[in-house]
Homo-oligomer: A and B are copies of this chain.
Amino acid sequence: MSKGPIIILVEPQLGENIGMAARAMANFGLHELRLVRPRENWLNQKTEAAAAGADFVLHGATLYDSLKEAIADLNFVYATTARERGQGKPVHGPTDAASNLKIRIDEGEKVGVLFGRERTGLENSDIALTDAICTYPIDPGFSSLNLSQAVLIMGYAFRLAGNDATLPFGQKTRWPPAERGAVLNFFDYLDEKLEERGFFRPANKKHRMSMNLRNILLRIGMDEQDLRTLRGMIVRLVEGPRVPYSKQRKREAAEKAARDTSQDDET
């Protein structure tokens, strides 16, 4: 028992399209497929390949000799078409159609959506058997929609109309969010190092520049590990490579000498 609309393909010509339609149905949780007079040998290797594992839809498909038989047990049927047909039927976009289908299914109706032949679509006599038309907000300059793509849009719209529109996952932090005190301490450390390095020029803009930096970095929304990473990055940029302690002492002495030299210049 499918909880979505039944998808009915009328005289589909290409096995690949049937397979891709089955796959598209499975993507959005539609399970019941009916085929009206598909081309002979429609179920071939290409069909199976295109279904990409949606076998429960493809092999569960039922075949009919006529559209009339295919919709005999249904209560409400949409015809999909890209062109106006002058039949005076209600016309809905996918969102409204899906919402209408959802309400009817919840009330116990059996509902279906018809899709026509690859080249020519549904005939007027097909459409005459349906309750309403569903058409898509397609670019009028390029309205040739692949059959399986048309099925996909219906599945997606129905998914949005249902309770299933929740996403499979949300934004995750791997670590607990950093405590604000630790973040602010990091900013103070950063301010101090930037001050030493002459970042805050002119001096009277220091407060504003420092505030601006906080605003930029707070947009990261740091977790504990992000904070450790950023602090580690700044420490390395400031202190340079880690070296064994004894070598570091010698290097510091040499650097101090260098600094003294340059300070002498400035006096």
Contacts and interface: CB of A to CB of B under 8 A. Distances in A.
A140 interface: yes
Contacts of A220: 216-217, 219-220
A171 B91 CA distance: 5
A172 B247 contact: no
Interface in A165-186: 165-174
Q: How many copies does the complex hold?
A: 2
B168 A143 contact: yes
Interface in A239-261: 239-243, 247, 250-251, 254-255, 257-258, 261
Interface in A136-168: 136-146, 148-149, 152-153, 156, 159-160, 163-168
Contact of A265 (B146, B168, B250): B250
Contacts of A173: 88
A237 B238 contact: yes
Nearest to A138: B27
A176 to B, nearest CB: 12
A68 interface: no
B91 A169 contact: yes
A135 B233 CA distance: 32
A108 interface: no
A137 B159 contact: yes
Nearest to A149: B152
B258 A262 contact: no
A213 B159 CA distance: 36
Contact of A213 (B26, B194, B229): B229
B247 A251 contact: no
Contacts of A209: 229
A126 interface: no
A202 interface: no
A99 interface: no
A89 B146 CA distance: 33
A237 B197 CA distance: 6
Q: What 10 pairs between A and B have smallest CB-CB spacing?
A: A198-B241, A254-B258, A84-B169, A26-B142, A251-B262, A199-B236, A237-B237, A29-B139, A197-B236, A258-B258
5 contacts: A27-B138, A27-B139, A86-B172, A194-B237, A219-B220
